[in-house]
Structure 1
Amino acid sequence: TLTYRELDDRAEQVARRLRSLGAGPEGVVGIALPRTADLVAAVLGVLKSGAAYLPLDPAYPPDRLAYLVDDARPVAVLATAGTGALLPEGTVIVGPEVTQHQEPLLAPALSPDNIACVTYTSGSTGRPKGVSETHRGIVEFVEWTHAALGPERLARVLFSTSLNFDVSVFEIFSPLLCGGRIEIVDSLLALTTEGSRGASLISGVPSVMSSVVADHAEVSPRVVALGGEPVPEQLLADLEAAFPEARIINFYGPTEATIYATAWQSDLDPYSKDGPPPLGRPLARNRLYLLDQALHPVPEGVTGEVYLAGGGPARGYLGRSGLTAGRFVADPFGGPGERMYRTGDLAVRGSDGGLRFLGRADHQVKVRGFRVELGEIEAVLAAHPDVAQAAAAVREDGRGDQQLVAYAVTAAVTAVTAAEPALLRAHLARALPAHMVPSAIVVLDRLPLTVSGKLDRTALPAPDAPAPAHSSPRTEQESALRAIVADVLGLEPFRVGVHDSFFDLGGHSLLVPRLTTRIRNELGGDLPVRAVFATPTVAGLARRLSGAGTPGTAALDVLLPLRTRGEREPLFCLPPASGLAWGFAGLARHLDVDRPLYGLQSRGLVPGERVAMSLAEAVAEHTARIREVQPQGLYHLLGYSMGGLVAHGVATALQAAGERVALLAMLDSFPGAWTSQGPRPGDRPAVLRGLLTILGRSAPPDDDDLTDARFAELVRSVADLPGSLDDAELAALVEVTANNRRLLEEFAPAPYHGDLLFFSAAQDPDAHPDRYAAWQPYVDGRVDHHDIPCAHGEMTRPTALDRIGPVLDRRLRTT
């Protein structure tokens, strides 16, 4: 243990010896010392001499140490007899021994822009490059930590990171410059054996921090700082459970940005938890740009490269002016002479303004002519609730063809089974284009890591066997249909089995008309749009084309099967006032492949059928249909708009019958005064306008005379499912919609015992932030609210379901 005075005295002794050897501003001094208090004194001593310190890890291979010494040309290296023997011949070695000198140490003539340390990072060519970080950049970062965290959170910091990584600057200087203390350990993993109950802040890469959490380390930090890798969503949940009082920080920033450039803080920057935490906000004087190849800002939802500007970027690469000029470029958005650093990192800005890390530009590969970002595959795989860590790589198969391979480390609580890779691949297929879905997934006990704790891609093993084959076509017609289905979905034909559902493979209601049009044009068969709902497989469609059946009214029946196979409890979906549940088909690609999916439609859509005479009758019929499919709970219900009210009624009816409802979820559905809004049931033109909006058509101005004929013309102007309805079916649809408007006003909810999962249409003109709270009097649990950036009528569009589906799937897996 050293006091501040003792540490300062040691540092001054080191500085005097180095000055005598010629150390000073813009000079470099190496440090090759074990992790003791002498290491910290050496760092401070080098800085007091005016020179910059160069970390030389004694654990590095001698060849690498020789390269660093030759490249940086230090005035001297602080080393012990043992570590000095690892250095190349001719290196000036200075021991850490302290000698007493009485003469005062004069401060060197330093400027804030002199270099303070040189940190070497790996280069794409295999030649490490030294990043020259300035006093100004480091001081600005440390001052930000003082303002953001305060002395209390920095009172006792674990110094666990190797001096070779600039995160050590954070762990040393942030506490020591505000009166805190540092505890030196060999690595963060020391917590799993030794513990450190007094540490107020621990810091490390996520892959190592996950081990700390898994081993239940005896530590109670106030801050858990993560950086260097994307943070898996599962790790974030584990940290919140293990350290519920701690602030979790997701730092982002390459070494060239001086330690870190942005920070997301769990207690200050809430997010929807629909993936890993975002990159956060720029810290200190940093600025972050997301730009395309022409250095133009990219719009929301478009991938761009991250550029960092302001106070953070380092001076450049030591002795590498050409490389510096290529990566530290003029800032077109800053003042004269200002530069920005091109990180090579890819990110996308969401509708909430948050940036999500996607991967590295230099991990971009080409597979079968497609450009593929491995980081994006890894991010999607890591978002699976059973995956703790993920990686991806490109390998050659036995024929010499390139194939994508993904690697997964499953969560500790998950049993690895032979079927798991198939489930994980289905998860990827739900979120990625077909050309980005790996051919094989390998489940590992752990990912291979480099000495710095980052992923070692070169050590990833080859897959043992190719991915399992799909059921193949048995006739020429099935083969032709498979090719069309694959092309519509953007898949390679071999990925489509003849018994695979169009919706499981990524199809949705907006793609169905495209599919039937292609079939009609290429195969000559007149296949109605609704036939795809009745038989959504290649084999089933082939039977339709062969005349082995007719589509009939299956797509308008009360029970609409969207996926019937699977061993888990089904999800039952109740539609808006139109009574049509077709839009829920797009959920299939987001849900567990083992979970059936059903829509419950309004009675009366089939011409000649009687509509429900009361809301209670509609609730009773839907409850009965659900229990025909699933006689006993657990039940899972999802309602959209009016369907939310019906779902609430079904849920309370099931509970009153002694059944268990595991999930009640709603899409932009509200009780109370909202039920009396909208067109009156007797105002037919207003009902027609409202229905056009529900169906995704533009309604004519209010002063235009909207007749039934004009309504039918507008509906059929789009070649989709509603556009395929005949006159009688359209008339029935209008009657059902008007009737449902009347039933809405009868809603008188009983208490629901449980939580409500709620999704709001945040961009709807009628939206306001707390509207979902109208449900709180009618549920005795909590209302878990999620904003979706869309209008009310767009909640089952693919872009909205891309956000709703993963949240819904995670909730279903935990109920």
Structure 2
Amino acid sequence: MGPKRVDLALIERLLCELPEVADAAVVPAAADGGAPVAVGIVSLHPGATLTGPELRWHQSMRVPLAMVPRRIEVVPRLPRTEDGSLDRDAMDDLAVGAGAVQAVGAIAGPVADLWRRQLGTTVSLDEEFDRIGGDFGLAQRTSGQIEDLTGRWYPPSVLVSHPTPRALEELVGTATGAGEASTAVLLADGRGPTVAIAYDMDGSAFTMRDLATSLGGRRVIGLDLPTAGGRARARSFEELVGIGADDLIAAHDGSPLVVIGYSLGAIGAFELAVQLRRRGQEVAMVGLIDLGPVHVAFNTGRRGMRPAETWPWRPPATDPFHRRAAGYLRHAADQPRGRRLEYVARAANVGRDFDLLRAEHDLRVHGAVRPSLRRSWSWYRLVEWTVDHRLGTWDGDAVLFVCDQTVKGNVPTSAKVDFASKLEATIGWGPHIAGHLTTWPVVGVHTDLVEPPYVKGLGEEVSRAIEVHAGG
């Protein structure tokens, strides 16, 4: 199907392994302007009420995505001939008929039109998001458009498991949209222990896709920030991470996990590992991707290098991320309340729409923050809760990945470099690790580590560390 060769009989067997499925068949069906796609036709056991999109969601969490039909149609019973074998002609008619109905749906058309306008290219209803150059910004706009059309919010990462306009049409056609059910998202399929990636400041598993595919063919599950939909689903960092821990366990097969986190997500990964172990889940390795030595001053063009003590205030690079964030918030407290979010975001070099007071008003009056402010609001709440969180102790080993950003070739060299951060190799993590903490150097600029060109090298180093410390 498409550019991949798949075994339809194997897909049928995998579908039949779902406990709700009584019988299943998979047939190829013509796609809109593309190669044929696999369509599953299933009948359910008595009492089962799952829809096709929900079955596809469950299947995408347990088998490689290449083994998940593009569409799944639920029928009372599979058509059969007089001798009891499957009636393949009738099956083909079911697959074609289902596609024809969905092609004129209220979601697929507007989504395809949005992609067409944003990317300036022809987009069919079966065009995959990644292959036409979709990025995180377009994924967010797609999420917002679906909410405008349906009144239900789906995270941008839903495009990982439902990458086409037609697949999104199937998903949102149900009353219990699967995109609202779980913060755990399958990012990549493969071998060895499953890797769980905690969200960074962007709060979306979608931004971790490049890292997931750079981990040497491993199975990777990413986590979405539970508050990214603009609703107050948690009141503390522990509750926030607890939602992800529960969703991760529900989506996983119970085998040992490798938990990693990038930047602010390193704190999330640490707490996630603690909560997973508390819930009886074995954690084979904890990986913390934190900031190494940095330039105190940054090139500001005609104004030259910014003195180290001028705005925005920058804390010592020897501090772990949660201490640096606490320093930013202490300085932000001196700002007018309506400008605190902007101050902290500027200090972190993040450009967003800011209006904290209006976001809080939305939440209080309407129960959800308006879409244009959700990213900044949820990001600010994440930083606040992280700062308030008191790190405990991980009763095990961990790997600390750091990049020396003062190395010539990584960033423009400057005399104003925080070489003091070289003096404390664990960057403040040492007291929180009861076992052995291994420092593992990586090449790159911290803010760009999970993006090309650095992400490939980071993925290779993390994969090597997994082989050494997790045995897979």
TM-score with structure 1 setting the length: 0.31
Rg larger in structure: 1
- Which structure shows the bigger proportion of residues in helix conformation? 2
- Which structure shows the bigger proportion of residues in strand conformation? 1
For CA contacts below 8 A with separation 6 or more, give which structure has more relative contact order.
2
